[in-house]
C-alpha cells in the first residue's frame, strides 16, 4: 500500500487510514482488534480515533474506542509502528467529557482531554492531535451549500463573548508539542476561513502550523473542492477525508428505502445528513453507476475518494471483516478517465446534495 507524506511533516501515512468510531458500540474489543490486525497486515499504518468515540456519543461509552486501540498496541508491542490520530471535542454542552462542566477549546479542557486520551491509549504521545470541530458557531462540516445567520464576531482579531480566540487555542497546542505529548496538530470539520486563521496565527509564531484537515468528502459531498482544495494544496496541508461511503448510503444497502436490521441508520437514526431532499435518487444513481462498471458501490465510492490527487489518506470504516476487506481493496482499483467523466457528468447535474 502506498505511503504519502502527512503535510510538511516527516510522517509517511498509508493511503488508507483505519477509522475506529464503531469500536466499543457496534463492535466489541475483539472485533476492533481483528480489524486492526487485518488492516496492518494489508499495509495500513494509520489509525484515526477521538475522545468522543464510539458513535453515537454517550456518557457510558465515551472513551471505549481509545481503550480498545491501547489494548491492541499493548498486546502487540507495536506502538512505534502505529501512527495515531485522535481528537479533542470542540465546544459542547455535554459535561461527561470534562466530568463536571461543558467543554470548550480552552487550556484546561484541552489538557484534560489529552491526558485522558494518553492514558486510554497507553502511550506517552499522540502523533496527530486534531480539533474535532470548531468552537465557533458555524454549520456542521463547515462547507454548507447555503448559509443562514452566522454568529457575529467582535472584530477581525477578536471573538464573540465566551468564544475562545483561535490564537489562545493554538497557544495550548504549542505547549502540548513542546511537552512532547503530541507530535503534530490538525483540524477537522473546518472552513477555509478557519484554516487560514490558524495558519495566520502560526505564521506569527503563536503555535504549531496545522498539518492536516479532516472533513467529509464523498461522491455526494464534494464541497471540499470549492475552496479548501486550493488552501490545502498551496499550504501543504494533508487532506484526510472521512465518510467516503456517506455513512453507508453509498454501499447500496439503503437503496429504495431499505433499512437492514443492524445497520447504523436502523440502529441510531443518525443519517439526516444523507436524507436531504433528492438525496435518495442521487445516491441510487451513483450506486447504479458503480454497478454499470462491474463494481460493488462501496468499492467504487472508496476507490473514487482514494484516487483524488488532493487526498493524503482516505479514512475508511467497517463493522464486519468482509466490509473492511472490500474497503482495503479499493486502494488497488485503477481509476479510469471513463469513470471520472461519468461521475463528473452526474455531479454537474446534481451538485452536492449531502454537504
What amino acid positions are annotated as catalytic residues? 53
Q: Rounded to whole angstroms, how far apart are CA atoms 355 and 339?
A: 22
Nearest to 258 by CA among 236, 276, 243, 280: 280
In angstroms, the Cα distances linking 128 to 83, 183, 290 are 8, 6, 34
Beta carbons within 8 Å of 28's beta carbon, 6+ residues apart: none
Beta carbons within 8 Å of 239's beta carbon, 6+ residues apart: 212, 213, 215, 217, 224, 228, 229, 232, 310, 311, 312
Query: Is 3 within 8 Å of 45 (Cβ atoms)?
Result: yes
Helix (H) or strand (E) holding 126: strand 126-131
CB burial string 314-350: b at 16+ within 10 A, e below: bbbbbbeeebbebbbebbebeeeeebeebbeeebeeb
In the numeric block, the cell 477537522 is attached to 188
Amino acid at each position: 500500500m502506498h505511503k504519502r507524506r502527512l503535510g510538511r511533516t516527516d510522517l509517511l501515512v498509508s493511503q488508507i487510514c483505519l477509522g475506529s468510531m464503531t469500536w466499543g458500540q457496534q463492535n466489541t474489543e475483539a472485533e476492533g482488534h481483528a480489524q486492526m490486525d487485518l488492516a496492518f497486515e494489508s499495509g495500513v499504518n494509520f489509525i484515526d480515533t477521538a475522545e468522543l468515540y464510539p458513535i453515537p456519543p454517550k456518557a457510558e461509552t465515551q472513551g471505549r474506542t481509545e481503550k480498545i486501540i491501547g489494548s491492541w498496541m499493548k498486546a502487540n508491542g507495536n506502538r512505534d509502528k502505529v501512527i495515531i490520530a485522535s481528537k479533542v471535542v470542540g465546544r459542547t454542552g455535554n459535561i461527561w467529557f470534562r466530568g463536571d462542566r461543558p467543554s470548550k477549546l480552552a487550556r484546561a479542557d484541552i489538557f484534560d482531554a489529552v491526558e485522558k486520551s494518553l492514558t486510554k491509549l497507553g502511550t506517552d504521545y499522540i502523533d496527530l492531535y486534531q480539533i474535532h470541530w470548531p468552537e465557533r458557531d458555524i454549520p456542521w462540516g463547515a462547507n454548507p451549500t447555503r448559509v443562514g445567520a452566522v454568529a457575529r464576531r467582535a472584530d477581525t482579531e477578536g471573538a464573540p463573548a465566551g468564544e475562545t480566540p483561535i490564537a489562545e487555542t493554538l497557544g495550548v497546542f504549542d505547549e502540548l508539542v513542546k511537552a512532547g505529548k503530541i507530535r503534530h496538530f490538525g483540524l477537522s470539520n473546518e472552513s477555509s476561513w478557519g484554516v487560514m486563521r490558524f495558519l495566520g496565527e502560526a505564521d506569527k509564531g503563536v503555535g504549531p502550523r496545522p498539518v492536516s484537515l479532516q472533513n467529509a468528502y464523498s461522491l455526494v459531498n464534494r464541497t471540499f473542492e470549492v475552496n479548501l482544495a486550493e488552501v490545502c494544496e498551496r499550504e501543504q496541508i494533508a487532506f484526510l477525508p472521512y465518510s467516503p461511503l456517506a455513512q453507508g448510503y453509498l454501499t447500496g444497502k439503503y437503496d429504495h428505502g431499505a433499512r437492514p436490521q443492524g445497520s447504523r441508520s436502523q440502529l441510531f437514526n443518525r443519517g439526516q445528513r444523507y436524507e436531504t431532499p433528492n438525496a435518495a435518487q442521487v445516491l441510487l444513481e451513483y450506486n447504479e453507476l458503480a454497478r454499470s462498471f462491474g463494481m460493488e458501490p462501496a468499492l467504487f465510492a472508496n476507490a473514487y475518494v482514494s484516487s483524488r490527487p488532493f487526498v493524503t489518506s482516505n479514512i475508511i470504516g467497517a463493522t464486519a471483516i468482509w466490509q473492511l476487506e472490500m474497503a482495503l481493496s479499493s486502494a488497488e482499483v485503477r481509476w479510469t478517465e471513463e469513470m471520472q467523466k461519468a461521475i463528473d457528468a452526474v455531479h454537474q447535474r446534481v451538485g452536492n446534495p449531502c454537504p
